[in-house]
Amino acid sequence: MKNISQNLKLRKLYIFFLFLALLNIFFSTGISLAKTFSINDVELSTPFKINFNKNKIIDEGFVKAFNQLMLSTVQSKDYQKLKKIPLNQIKSMIETFSIKEEKFVDEIYYIKLNVSFNKKIIFDLLEKKNIFPSSPVKKDIIFIPIVVDQNESQIKMFLDNIIYNQWNSNTKQFELLNYILLTEDLEDLNLIKKNIENLENFEFREIVKKYNLENYIISIFFIGSDQTRLLNKISFNNKQNLKNTLIKNIDFNSNSEIDKLIENLKISFEDYWKSQNEINTSVKLPLTISVENSNNIKINQLEEKLSNLDLIYNFYIYKFDNKNNIYKIIFNGTPDKFIEVMKNNNYDFETVNKIWVMK
């Protein structure tokens, strides 16, 4: 009788642990399906007429949301390949959508949509078109435009600088870079003037560090008699990039020409930032990781993080017992990159018999 009683207790204990493990699987499935790109606050309007068709407006919103997603995830040279994606294909990539707001004002219909796209389907589309996407990471950066008039030996940095004045006058929703302009500071201006002959080699960190931001772009416009030389000094994630460009026949007194110049510069800066966050979807590295399942909260936090990492192509629970969950992960990158990405998110792993064990 004593042995039978012990066996019953062990069986109940086993069933209890099995129940907990199954709960982990159910929660995991729900979280893994949440792998989406969300485009919010897509605004449209149209006159309210006899032939008004709400579904048609919503379809236009789907196209607008898709274009906005592509503009934030692929470089400008690749965006051209995606301009003719048919509506039905766009709709097949939508996970969910909601109407955030709609109203009629003076016989005009206004609508605001939130649209979520399935990441895996989006990445599959881009891979078929030989396009490497980028993680749409938004970033605050310091931007310092300096105009050097070589004809008059003058430096313009603040309100007398048309680039400075107009730079943030036409921001777009899909842009990833948020430009922080310097506040007018006589000390900074004098420091730049003091180094006018050596601006190409000047170390701007002394100015940038005041703003507690590591990433910056310095654009120096050397205006000559017949052309302008532009030097861009870019520092993203402690990686430096220098680029010289010749600009011909631009009138620095023309607002329209400066607006066009600013638009082109922003496109090139966005492309460079995307190149730093590129995802090589052709690389699909299979990984097996083991995680203790004694803490459901930590398990859910890990799975949510895996769902939201763009370099994680897919993951699922392969098997489990009363101690560990074993996950299969498809990772778009190298093992070293996986370690780096997870470490940046406060997760450390060690390899044991080809299994990555979370510490």
Please tell me the predicted confidence (pLDDT) of residue 354: 87
Residues 161 and 267 reside in one and the same domain = yes
Residue that terminates a domain, selected from 81, 99, 128: 128
Q: What percent of the chain has pLDDT over 90?
A: 58
Residue range 247-275: mean pLDDT, rounded: 93
Could you give the CA distance from residue 244 to residue 218 in angstroms, rounded to a whole number?
Answer: 12
Q: Are residues 219 and 232 in the same domain?
A: yes
Q: What is the mean pLDDT of residues 281-309?
A: 90
Instruction: Identify whether 151 is part of a domain.
Output: yes
> Among residues 258, 276, 294, which one ends one of the domains?
276
When comparing pLDDT for 164 and 209, which is higher? 164
Helix (H), strand (E) at residue 206 = helix 205-208
Which two tokens mark 287?
């990984």
Q: Going along 59-138, which residue ranges are E strands? A: 94-105, 108-118
> The domain that contains 229 carries what CATH number?
3.40.50
Write down the pTM of the prediction: 0.82
CA–CA separation, 250 vs 243, rounded Å? 19
Least confident of 29-33, 179-183, 220-224, 299-303: 29-33
Q: What is the pLDDT of residue 6?
A: 52
Residue 13 has pLDDT above 50, yes or no: no
What's the domain range around 102?
A: 36-128
**Per-residue pLDDT at 240 exceeds 80:** yes
For 329-340, how does the pLDDT look when each residue is reduced to its tens digit (9 = 90+)? 999 999 988 999
List pLDDT tens digits, range 137-191: 999 999 999 999 888 778 999 999 999 999 999 999 999 999 999 988 888 888 8
**CA pair distance 250, 232, nearest whole angstrom:** 17
Q: Please indicate, yes or no, whether residues 262 and 302 belong to a single structural domain of this protein.
A: no
Q: Which residues pair with 326 in a beta bridge?
A: 290, 319
Q: Average pLDDT of the chain?
A: 87
pLDDT value at residue 63: 97
d(CA 165, CA 159) in angstroms, rounded, equals 6
- What does the pLDDT read at residue 209? 84
Residue 359 confidence (pLDDT) above 50: yes
What's the structural domain count of the chain?
Answer: 3
| Structural domain includes residue 133 | no
Q: Which pLDDT does position 5 carry in this prediction? A: 53
| Sequential DSSP letters for 212-262 | T-S-EEEEEEEE-SSEEEEEEEEEETTEEEEEEEEEES--TT-HHHHHHHH
